[in-house]
């Protein structure tokens, strides 16, 4: 079987975990601090705050911006459920924006029509590892006095205008789930250049504690969203390998770009460095392709089979201008692109996909 994703855990990660286990400090401690410093330095920002998951990173990020009851946050309708659920966690409203049919990212031209007096933030999702078009998006945010909180769960190392995602804007939230470009088992991290956001996130992550006070002093409602040193030790080793992992993903993607015929391959905008968390193609007769991939033991993924406004708890936020995400969710399919693929795997995927897709109606 060629899996759709495979975490690459080697001796370095195992040894790092053993060292933490032997040290006696296994919850948040020095390794978490070291990982935060290294991740901040990797993306080129001042602050990084490690969390228990990408979901809790986004939740914390929204809380740190003061997103509250009845506030509105603009978010693309094609994303993982956490992008919208975290807005609901704050009792705020997800305002769904359709996506660009070529990049699958938030359609910049449709953002402004969703802004009301209640809008507080825009949440671009850098889907599949390609940055959203951040310059025009930031211009809209600045014009209307809105925060930008990026869902960078799939975009470790991705760039926009040669700057890494996480090094600009209000804040970005990454996930380290095992299928991601790097992993800590479960985990997440927030990056920001803003000291005030950093301090707030730090406090809310740890039961609302203020750093300057003795323990067990709580100034606000908070959570336990702290990463463990066990996870951070894995993260430190994974981060060293991330540039190589991403390079291999890019090489695999370029091989597919060149060799795949009869399907629409990913469209990449000029100013971005794509990190191919997923290699997603469009194909109208998707069921047929899925059957043949299964027969040939090739993994695949549908990210995502429904736009977010189709879920029952999110239906009331749907509207008539979300057609692209609705159509795309029926046609997109992701092929394995991860760094552990071998040449023979790539050749097999190309051969099978090309054979099926040359006769779309059969
Ligand atoms: C776009 C997106 N947002 C948020 C998340 C949530 O991250 P996690 O699974 O680490 O909570 C994910 C991860 O699956 C994701 O892909």
Q: Is the CB of 86 under 6 A from ligand 1?
A: no
Report pLDDT for 213: 67
Report pLDDT for 214: 75
Report pLDDT for 323: 98
Question: What order of strands is seen across the sheet that includes strand 93-97?
Answer: 47-51, 188-192, 171-175, 147-151, 119-122, 72-76, 93-97
Q: Which atom of ligand 1 is nearest to the CA of 187?
A: 10
Tell me the CA–centroid distance for residue 199 and ligand 1, in Å: 23
Nearest Cα neighbor of 166 from 53, 73, 44, 278 is 44
Q: Is the CB of 153 under 6 A from ligand 1?
A: yes
Report pLDDT for 336: 98
* Contacts (Cβ under 8 Å, ≥6 apart) of 296: 348, 352
- CA-derived radius of gyration, the chain: 20
Tell me the CA–centroid distance for residue 361 and ligand 1, in Å: 35
Report pLDDT for 66: 97
- What does the DSSP assignment read for 305-348? SS-GGGSGGGGGG--SS-HHHHHHHHHEEEE---TT--HHHHHH
Query: What does the pLDDT look like over 283-335, one tens digit per residue?
Result: 999 999 999 999 999 999 999 999 999 999 999 999 999 999 999 999 999 99
Q: Is the CB of 328 under 6 A from ligand 1?
A: no
Q: Averaged in consecutive runs of 10 residues, what is the pLDDT profile of the chain (362 residues)? A: 98 98 96 98 98 98 97 98 98 98 98 98 98 98 98 98 96 98 98 97 94 80 97 98 98 98 94 98 95 98 98 98 98 98 98 89 60
Tell me the CA–centroid distance for residue 69 and ligand 1, in Å: 23
Q: Is the CB of 231 under 6 A from ligand 1?
A: no
Reported pTM: 0.97
Tell me the CA–centroid distance for residue 61 and ligand 1, in Å: 14
Q: Is the CB of 75 under 6 A from ligand 1?
A: no
Q: Which atom of ligand 1 is nearest to the CA of 277?
A: 16
Query: What does the pLDDT look like over 64-92, one tens digit per residue?
Result: 999 999 999 999 999 999 999 999 999 99
Query: CA 185, 186, 190: angle at the middle one, nearest 5?
Result: 125
């Amino acid at each position: 079987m060629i899996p759709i994703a495979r975490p690459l855990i080697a001796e370095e990660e195992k040894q790092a975990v053993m060292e933490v286990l032997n040290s006696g400090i296994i919850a948040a401690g020095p390794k978490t601090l070291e990982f935060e410093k290294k991740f901040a330095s990797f993306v080129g920002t001042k602050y990084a705050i490690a969390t228990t998951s990408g979901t809790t990173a986004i939740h914390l990020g929204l809380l740190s911006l003061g997103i509250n009851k009845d506030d509105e946050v603009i978010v693309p309708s094609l994303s993982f459920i956490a992008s919208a659920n975290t807005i609901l966690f704050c009792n705020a409203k997800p305002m769904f924006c359709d996506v660009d049919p070529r990049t699958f990212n938030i359609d910049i031209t449709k953002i402004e029509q969703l802004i009301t007096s209640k809008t507080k933030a825009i949440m671009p999702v850098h889907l599949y590892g390609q940055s959203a078009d951040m310059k025009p998006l930031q211009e809209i945010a600045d014009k209307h006095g809105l925060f930008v909180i990026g869902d960078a769960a799939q975009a470790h190392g991705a760039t926009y205008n040669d700057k890494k995602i996480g090094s600009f804007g209000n804040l970005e939230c990454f996930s380290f789930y095992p299928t991601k470009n790097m992993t800590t088992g479960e985990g997440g991290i927030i990056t920001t250049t803003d000291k005030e956001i950093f301090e707030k996130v730090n406090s809310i992550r740890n039961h609302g504690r203020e750093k300057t006070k003795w323990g067990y002093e709580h100034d606000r409602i908070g959570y336990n969203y702290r990463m463990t040193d066990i996870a951070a030790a894995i993260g430190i080793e994974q981060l060293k390998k991330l540039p190589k992992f991403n390079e291999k993903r890019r090489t695999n993607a370029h091989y597919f770009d060149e060799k795949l015929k009869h399907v629409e391959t990913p469209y990449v905008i000029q100013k971005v460095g794509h990190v191919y968390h997923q290699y997603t193609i469009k194909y109208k007769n998707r069921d047929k392709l899925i059957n043949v991939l299964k027969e040939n033991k090739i993994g695949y993924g549908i990210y995502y089979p429904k736009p977010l406004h189709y879920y029952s708890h999110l239906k009331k936020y749907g509207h008539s201008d979300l057609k692209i995400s609705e159509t795309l969710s029926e046609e997109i399919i992701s092929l394995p692109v991860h760094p552990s693929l071998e040449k023979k795997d790539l050749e097999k995927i190309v051969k099978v996909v090309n054979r099926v897709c040359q006769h779309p109606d059969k």
